[in-house]
Amino acid sequence: MNCYDYIIVGAGSAGCVLARRLSEDRSTRVLLVEAGPPADDFWIRAPAGMGKLFRSEHYNWCFETEPVPTLRNRRIYWPRGKTLGGSSAINGMVYVRGHRRDFDHWRDLGNPGWGWDDVLPYFRRSVCRPGDTEKGSESHGLLTVSDPSVLHPAALAFVEAAQRTGLTRLDDFNEGEQEGVGLLRATIRNGVRQSTYDAFVAPIVARRPNLDIRTGAHVHRLLFAGVAATGIEAEIDGQIQRFHAAREVVLCAGALSSPHLLMLSGIGDAEQLRRHGIATVAHLPGVGKNLQDHFAVRVQARTTREGSYNQYLAGWRKYAAGARYLLTKGGYLALGSSIAAAFFRSGPQVAYADMEVSFRPMTVSYAGTSEAVVDDFPAISASVYRVRPDSRGEVILRSADPMQSPAFVPNYLHAPEDIGAMLAGLRRLRQILAMEPLASFVLEELVPGKEVRTDAQWIDYMEREGQCAFHPAGTCKMGNDRMAVVDARLRVQGVERLRVVDASIMPVVTSGNTNAPTIMIGEKGADMILADQRAASRAA
């Protein structure tokens, strides 16, 4: 009963796509295992519920980094989804594919088939947009990507103000060119969050008996016969169970957990594995290396009442907003984390936009609680981050105990180029805030405050207050050099019947939010697996 053709570890942004595609052949048995619980919660479905999920230990791994020397030895909080849908069930829902040059660069690094023209069909295959003449079908168009449900005046003012600083207005950030300003699209369908589980798996669960889903299944290690992956060992309800794969095991556990599971299973730097008493199956020193994330710095400003929607989500009015959402699935509770964004270059020497500003006409604080609480005064917030940082970190095995998380070392701002770019980005944001028509809404800058002017003051603020943008990637990078972990077909090097299909395979993180490209990786990875299986069958 525990034998399958394919075993997929992790029901996140890529794993759910794979489960859908690999199970389309009803003669193929597929197992999808997820460490977290089912995603049955009102606050997962309601887009505004992301604030309640930000530190929810039930649906969130709530990771923390090691102390970061460049950030005053602060530990940075890293939320990661722990439920069906993975991080797509708790994220800000922003859908940004990245710049065409991101993928052409992947191809030029020695990964044929990963250029923009190669991956664009996979992006398009996933998505259905309301109002499109060609609706989604059984084989594609499963994920709804929609425009903001409310066009707040401050968001429109941000777009116009950014245009007046020299940026071009873009109707869509997702067709390969990003430099400019515009409104963001989100994975929201009729006012309800669409995680990858909702879009790809939930509609087929009842009618695909060949797809088996196990939640609460914490995978301890992969099983091998020699160098061939044969299955997994997982803990379910306190019991250790083994599951066997006749064809392949596919890791989709994400940029933090996929390298961890590889190391626990004997794939990684042999010396590091030996220190923890783990026998080496394959010496791959790049496992866990090349960690990249978007380091974010926020600016907040108090506004006129018309410049923010805080007042509609605070005090007694939040109950009215809740009632409106329950009745219509509309209003402010149906919005994603950011409504508008601007992409621009930090300097003339940069080939294409390397900075992003994400804008929202509202602010939240935590005030010692585990939930984000909307402030009771009108204000706006924007986050600045370099979308292609030069700094690199790593995931380090801390113990052979699979229940102990590894050490996360992000090395934010380790590269001087990242500091210079962030300074340019923050100054550009201030220029936008000071430009009409947005300037008419702004009363005063709250964070960091107008007294912060010099480079030294800005750097001090970044070190004290900077956080992550929740986009870790790159820790099982695709390539053909000595630090590569998977090849261009996402097969783990040095072993057989094992692939990694998630954000960890990115050689360089994409220019923007990472959920959309991770879904694309799932689509392309599924096609590769099926094509290779057909080729093997013909050869046999």
509 is in an annotated binding site: no
Q: List C-alpha distances in Å: 16 to 157, 221, 250, 522, 527.
A: 38, 21, 12, 8, 14
On whether the CB atoms of residues 276 and 450 are closer than 8 A, the answer is no
**DSSP labels, 381-449:** EEEEEESS-S--BEEE---S-TTS--EEE--TT-SHHHHHHHHHHHHHHHHHHTSTTGGGTEEEEEES-
91 is in an annotated binding site: yes
Is the peptide bond prior to 259 cis by the omega test (within 30 degrees of 0)?
Answer: no
The whole-angstrom separation of Cα 236 and Cα 219 is 9
Q: What's the full length of the chain, in residues?
A: 540
141 is in an annotated binding site: no
On whether the CB atoms of residues 246 and 230 are closer than 8 A, the answer is no
The whole-angstrom separation of Cα 172 and Cα 152 is 18
Residue 369 corresponds to which tokens in the numbers above? 């609680």
93 is in an annotated binding site: yes
On whether the CB atoms of residues 362 and 374 are closer than 8 A, the answer is yes
219 is in an annotated binding site: yes
The whole-angstrom separation of Cα 499 and Cα 36 is 22
Q: List C-alpha distances in Å: 245 to 230, 231, 232, 524.
A: 5, 5, 8, 21
In the set 99, 152, 294, 471, the catalytic residue is: 471
Residue 184 corresponds to which tokens in the numbers above? 């963001």
How many CB atoms are located within 10 Å of the residue 319 CB? Answer: 9
The whole-angstrom separation of Cα 261 and Cα 348 is 42
Is 276 an active-site residue? no
On whether the CB atoms of residues 363 and 375 are closer than 8 A, the answer is yes
In the annotated binding site, the residues are 91-94, 219
Known catalytic residues are 471
In the annotated binding site for FAD, the residues are 91-94, 219
